[in-house]
Amino acid sequence: MTRPTPLQAFRRGLPSLDLEDYHAKLREELQRRNRDLRFMLATPSEPGAAEPGAFHGVPVTVKDALTVRGLEATAGSRILQGYVPVFTATAVERLERAGGVVHGKTAMDEFGFGTFGTNCAFGAPRNPWDPSRVTGGSSGGAGVAAALLAHHVAIAESTGGSISSPASFCGAVGLTPTYGRISRWGLIDYANSLDKIGVITRSTRDGFEAFNAMLGPDAHDATSQNPHNLAATRRPVKRIGVMRELVDASKPEVAKPFRSAMDRLAAEGVAVQEVSFPLAKEALAAYYVLACSEASTNLAKYCGLRYGPQGELDKPFDESFAAVRSRDFGAEAKRRVLLGTYARMAGYRDAYYLKATRVRGAVIEAYRGLFRNVDVLASPTMPILPPRFEEVAALDPVDVYALDAISVGPNLAAMPHLSVPCGYVTDLPVGLQFVANQWDEGALWDVGERWEAAFPYRFPANVGAVP
């Protein structure tokens, strides 16, 4: 008999639940936990009423990069402090219409600029497995919420690995769909050609149920589309390609449980073979050049005129704008604005920005070549265990960016990917990442469910568990 997923368990308990009382107590408990773990930002004065639907009464949290009407949205940046949106992001609205109840915004790296969840203007969230360690980023608060709450959907966003990284470090399931599956309307942009809204949950099925509720075209986002019906494309995975270079680049304590997971899947009849993906370094460089180029233009509007704190305009525009930006952007935001502006500057545009767009094309082709022989690709999600805060502080930017080598590839190429826990080392979770071809999320659903049927997950808490 298969175990019920956390959402199935919630629905079973729903008839005997006083929802108003349940959400009031949950809100109190979240506030209590937040004092130690700092994973939540704005919260509503009281959770809204639950609409009828498949997610009736299910607690939902929202990464602070997405708008929720009436709730402050900062995208983790001081420059947006006090910004209260007048509309709700399409993804959030669709989940609310299906019955989800928003409990608040989750902490994140400023504008999504981070691998570890440490570049946050309002304090870095702490890992619930060990609060001296980082959560992963940039959707760090969403990772914590998924690890703590027994029945819950964390709406998150990934540009270069911001769903997989915290899912891995916090021991949860992170689903990043194909670019364009879910409308980006209401998302505070990092990089428009890379941003993807997804979810962090406690099971593959729960993640896909939420994904199904949110996906599809939206008149507000011209890039949103749903070319293949997800249910129709769901198919059994027969062949897994293990990405040799990415496993070799991982620390032994991470590679070991990953290899055990592959052995376990092979024992169940899945053909597991090694494949080569030699473009990881090139993909990393192309990703950072493109992401920072787009970010530097997106962040141009934060200058104190329309967005950002407005002071007296007593100096020329450029000086006033520079003063606001220099005061309120964090260090990593400044670093990325500089890199992105440089990559687009006259004299360097061809060598950096345009070259990166063409390398991206080569990376997409390389992935497509691999998918001619396998259904999904697999590797560890992150090459290391969640590090301590002081270990991250000792890294220089090039070292930090290099740790994204596994996660940026599928993000750059818009390939959907799923991170699931595959082991526990000294009581810290290890993540395993499956990558599928564009629009082939159905393969991820199949392999994710098959994996967790054989491997029960552990969590550091079960906040709000229904009896």
Q: Which of 81, 310, 319, 454 binds other proteins (CB under 8 A)?
A: 319
Write the interaction track for other proteins spanning residues 218-257; mark x where CB under 8 A is met and - where it is not.
----xx-x--------------------------------
* Residues whose CB is less than 8 angstroms from the CB of residue 268 and which lie 6 or more positions away in sequence, other chains included: 450, 454
Query: Quick one: DSSP state of residue 242?
Result: E
| Burial of 51: CB neighbours in 10 Å, binned 0-12, 13-18, 19+ | middle
In angstroms, the CA 121 to CA 83 distance is: 15
Report if residue 394 touches other proteins, rule: CB under 8 A.
no
Stretch that binds other proteins, among 134-142, 264-272, 285-293, 451-459 (CB under 8 A): 285-293
Cβ proximity to other proteins: between 178 and 201 the closer is 178
In angstroms, the CA 67 to CA 69 distance is: 6
Report if residue 393 touches other proteins, rule: CB under 8 A.
no
Least spacing, CB of residue 179 vs other proteins, in Å: 5
* Residues whose CB is less than 8 angstroms from the CB of residue 204 and which lie 6 or more positions away in sequence, other chains included: 173, 175, 418, 420, 444, 445, 448, 449, 451, 452
Considering only residues 430-449, where is the footprint of other proteins by CB under 8 A?
438
Query: Exposed e or buried b for every residue in 422-435, given b needs 16+ CB within 10 A?
Result: bbeeeebbbbbbbb
Cβ proximity to other proteins: between 101 and 303 the closer is 303
Structure tokens at 413: 């190429």
Least spacing, CB of residue 281 vs other proteins, in Å: 5
Q: Which of 384, 439, 385, 450 is nearest to 417 (CA)?
A: 439
Report if residue 362 touches other proteins, rule: CB under 8 A.
yes
Report if residue 396 touches other proteins, rule: CB under 8 A.
yes
List the helix and strand counts (H, then E) for the chain: 17, 10
**Which entry of 77, 138, 158, 224 is annotated as an active-site residue?**
138
Report if residue 412 touches other proteins, rule: CB under 8 A.
yes
240, β-bridge pairs: 272, 376
Least spacing, CB of residue 80 vs other proteins, in Å: 17
Cβ proximity to other proteins: between 193 and 233 the closer is 193
Is residue 63 annotated as part of the catalytic site, yes or no?
A: yes
Stretch that binds other proteins, among 104-112, 237-245, 276-284, 444-452 (CB under 8 A): 276-284
Cβ proximity to other proteins: between 225 and 233 the closer is 225
Size of the site for other proteins (CB under 8 A): 59
Report if residue 84 touches other proteins, rule: CB under 8 A.
no
Cβ proximity to other proteins: between 24 and 394 the closer is 394
Q: Which of 47, 117, 137, 180 binds other proteins (CB under 8 A)?
A: 180
Q: Which of 43, 67, 178, 379 binds other proteins (CB under 8 A)?
A: 178
Stretch that binds other proteins, among 159-167, 239-247, 328-336, 425-433 (CB under 8 A): 328-336
Instruction: Give CA 90 to chain center in angstroms.
Output: 17
Instruction: Give CA 216 to chain center in angstroms.
Output: 19
Q: Which of 316, 326, 456, 467 binds other proteins (CB under 8 A)?
A: 326
**Which entry of 77, 139, 158, 162 is annotated as an active-site residue?**
162
Report if residue 323 touches other proteins, rule: CB under 8 A.
yes
Strand order in the sheet with 196-201: 101-106, 59-63, 153-158, 196-201, 173-176, 417-425, 428-436, 376-380, 239-243, 271-275
Within 10 Å of residue 149's Cβ, how many Cβ atoms?
29
Stretch that binds other proteins, among 48-56, 314-322, 382-390, 417-425 (CB under 8 A): 314-322
Within 10 Å of residue 127's Cβ, how many Cβ atoms?
31
Torsion of the alpha carbons at 195, 197, 200 and 206, rounded to the nearest 10: -150
Cβ proximity to other proteins: between 116 and 321 the closer is 321
Torsion of the alpha carbons at 378, 137, 256 and 427, rounded to the nearest 10: -140
Considering only residues 19-78, where is the footprint of other proteins by CB under 8 A?
none
* Intra-chain end-to-end CA distance of the chain, in Å: 20
CA distances from 301 to 270, 290, 295, 347 (A): 50, 18, 11, 24
Report if residue 361 touches other proteins, rule: CB under 8 A.
yes
Q: Which of 82, 236, 369, 397 binds other proteins (CB under 8 A)?
A: 397
Report if residue 123 touches other proteins, rule: CB under 8 A.
no
Report if residue 179 touches other proteins, rule: CB under 8 A.
yes
Structure tokens at 434: 């499956």
In angstroms, the CA 187 to CA 184 distance is: 5
Chain residues binding other proteins by CB under 8 A are 178-180, 193-194, 222-223, 225, 279, 281-282, 285-286, 288-289, 296, 300, 303, 313, 318-319, 321-323, 325-326, 329, 331, 334-335, 337-339, 341-342, 345, 347, 351-352, 354-362, 364-365, 396-398, 401-402, 412-414, 438
Active site members: 63, 138, 162
